[in-house]
A and B are shown apart, each in its own frame.
Chain A
Amino acid sequence: MKIKWLVCFFVVVLLLQACGNKDYKPRDLVSETDVCKVCNMSIVHEEYAGQIALSNGDYEMFDDLGCLIEYMKNLNKKDIGKTFIKDEGRENWINVETASFVYDKDIWTPMSYGVIAFESKDVAQQYIVNEGKGKLLSYADLDTFEWGVHH
């Protein structure tokens, strides 16, 4: 009888796991081998890097937020697990969809798109105040943002 209950318990646990959302985590960059999926550049400026954890378990790496957004536009939403970008001035990865962004033509990024990411709107606004330049952008703004050099 005990064994029956035990089997039932494991079956329930497995079913619950299957129903739950996948927990997508960013993977570490490997400078020796990682290249941007869009532009082919080696990712050497890790502070601007981005990545997409695909729902099939694969990862695609990008050297610049602009490349990541371009790649996302050609993907089905169901294929995207989670998207990550490096937090400006810090080492950690943040969720692209909940991040805030600052654009300025004088901000250098590997593809010169001039957009950097921050964990929150407050931090982004503080950056604009400190630097005396920049325009605040939301994730929704990135969809219509004109990617390209603006100098």
Chain B
Amino acid sequence: MKCLWTILCFSNLLWFIFAMPAKADILTLQEQIDATPSGGVLVLKDGIYTGQFSITKPITLKGSKHTELKSNAKESLLKIENTQNVSLENILISDAHIGIVMKNTSNVSLHDVKLQNVWSGVQIYNSKDVVVNGLTITGIDGHYSKKGNGLAIFNSHNLTISNNNFTNVQDGFYIEKVQAITLADNTVKNSRYGIHFMYTDNALAKSNEFNQNVTGIMLMMTENTQIENNNVKEQNGLNGAGFILFEAKNIDILYNHFQANRTALSTQKLTTSTVGHNTFQMNQTAVELIRSNKENIVYANDFVGNIVNIRSDGTDSSIKQNYYDDYAGIDIDDNGIGERPYVALQSFGQWMVRQPAYQYFIESPGVVLLNEMDRQTNLLETEQLVDEEPMMHSSHKATIESNILVWEVVVGLIVLVFGLWLWRREVAI
């Protein structure tokens, strides 16, 4: 019996020594951050860390498989301020009003950070050399007017924002007074604007996907920007639009795919810009040029299955070498260009620019008749919305991915041969 008690006491002692959490483990997250030396790496164990935290020195914060940060406060959960060389990796932030706020920072990176049930995801102010990659944000339920933005950036420069995925926020990316920013391979769904540029210079938005937002890209008072290879689908609500460009200059809209939007591309007060090599497919209105667009060119685009291809309220912009599926001309010299000009002028399209409510009469018998009359009278139009060199063929080559699996074919053949053999044998008998 004595021996049994001794063993029991000894085992208890061992448990106290080894199984009880060390002092470091019961430190709060803020204490752990404070205890990490500059340039150090803090690896957070699995668990839920509640509260508000602040980073003001160069450290790397790494989460484990189930590291979660939570906050009930009406402010930001994590602040990164007045510092540089900070990295955040593999962390889940939930139930916060604002997930992360960065102010006056440089060389900061966020990798694989997930935010869920947040009013606003990340806000960046007065920072430079920032990389955000693999950020996932799921906003709160409700109308977008009651939510904050996914990632909002103000007065900053040199940022690379890629492979992020946002849903249910106000604007996926709100970019205000930013210089030199790249947004690539991001997805924004069910929000107000996918990307909202304001007073930005030298931006690149490529290979992003926008689906079922009010507007895919809203670009305002912005200059020297490329928007390329984006996939813009189903912005088809009452005020829906693929892209809206307002008071912008030197913008290149190239190789984008617009499908099933109310208006695919609307430009207002746009100057010295290019719309080229895009595919406009099954949109209510493909391109809208309004309010004194100047020195813009719309070229080499494919217009397929749209109700109205191009409309304008009187524009200086030129259109050339586009493919229009409703072009009825012929190509005698076989150079791929139609012999007579294509005139995109539609009386009804022009009226819709002035009174958007007219869109509800599209394809009504009266409008169909009007369009037919336009087709006849347009033969005399020489100035507005005239493409002198319409393309006879779409530049878009349809590709069907072959998904035949060899083993399925082999098995099928074996079964077929066996079936034939069985049948012949039955017949022979």
Asked if residues B144 and A44 are in contact (CB atoms below 8 Å), the reply is yes
Question: A39 contacts the other chain (Cβ, under 8 Å)?
Answer: yes
Report the bound CA distance from A41 to B176 in whole Å: 15
A9 CB to nearest B CB, Å = 41
Question: A33 contacts the other chain (Cβ, under 8 Å)?
Answer: yes
A67 CB to nearest B CB, Å = 11
State which residues 31-72 of A face B: CB under 8 Å: 31-33, 35, 39-44, 46
Question: A4 contacts the other chain (Cβ, under 8 Å)?
Answer: no
Report the bound CA distance from A46 to B170 in whole Å: 14
Question: A138 contacts the other chain (Cβ, under 8 Å)?
Answer: no
Q: 1/0 per position for A115-151, CB-CB distance to B under 8 A? A: 0000000000000000000000000000000001101
A interface residues, tally (CB under 8 Å): 16
Asked if residues A42 and B198 are in contact (CB atoms below 8 Å), the reply is no
- The size class of the interface chain B forms with chain A is 20 to 34
Question: A112 contacts the other chain (Cβ, under 8 Å)?
Answer: yes
Question: B239 contacts the other chain (Cβ, under 8 Å)?
Answer: yes
Report the bound CA distance from A74 to B244 in whole Å: 22
Residue of B nearest to A148 (CB): B221
- A-B contacts, CB under 8 A, total: 42
Question: In the complex, which residues of chain B have a beta carbon less than 8 angstroms from the beta carbon of A39?
Answer: 220, 246
State which residues 194-222 of B face A: CB under 8 Å: 198-199, 214, 218, 220-221
Asked if residues B155 and A151 are in contact (CB atoms below 8 Å), the reply is yes
Report the bound CA distance from A98 to B199 in whole Å: 31
Residue of B nearest to A45 (CB): B145
Report the bound CA distance from A43 to B218 in whole Å: 14
A33 with B246: in contact, given A44-B145, A44-B192 (CB under 8 Å)?
no
Say what secondary structure dominates the interface of chain A: loop
A112 with B145: in contact, given A40-B268, A44-B192 (CB under 8 Å)?
no
State which residues 131-178 of B face A: CB under 8 Å: 143-145, 155, 170, 176-177
Question: B238 contacts the other chain (Cβ, under 8 Å)?
Answer: yes
Report the bound CA distance from A112 to B220 in whole Å: 11
Asked if residues B199 and A112 are in contact (CB atoms below 8 Å), the reply is yes
Which of B145, B241, B244 lies in contact with A31, CB distance below 8 A? Answer: B145
Asked if residues A35 and B143 are in contact (CB atoms below 8 Å), the reply is no
Question: In the complex, which residues of chain B have a beta carbon less than 8 angstroms from the beta carbon of A40?
Answer: 218, 239, 241, 244, 246, 266, 268
Report the bound CA distance from A112 to B143 in whole Å: 23
Interface centre among A41, A149, A151 (most CB of B within 10 A): A41
Asked if residues A32 and B143 are in contact (CB atoms below 8 Å), the reply is yes
Q: 7 tightest CB-CB pairs across the interface, nearest first? A: A31-B145, A44-B145, A149-B199, A35-B239, A39-B246, A40-B244, A33-B238
Q: A31-B145, A40-B268 are in contact. List 14 more A-B contacts (CB 8 A).
A: A32-B238, A39-B220, A40-B218, A40-B266, A41-B220, A42-B144, A42-B192, A42-B214, A43-B145, A44-B144, A46-B145, A112-B198, A149-B199, A151-B155
Question: Could you list some 24 contacts between A and B, CB below 8 A?
Answer: A32-B143, A33-B239, A35-B239, A39-B220, A39-B246, A40-B218, A40-B239, A40-B241, A40-B244, A40-B246, A40-B266, A41-B218, A42-B192, A42-B214, A44-B144, A44-B145, A44-B192, A46-B145, A112-B176, A148-B221, A149-B199, A151-B155, A151-B177, A151-B199
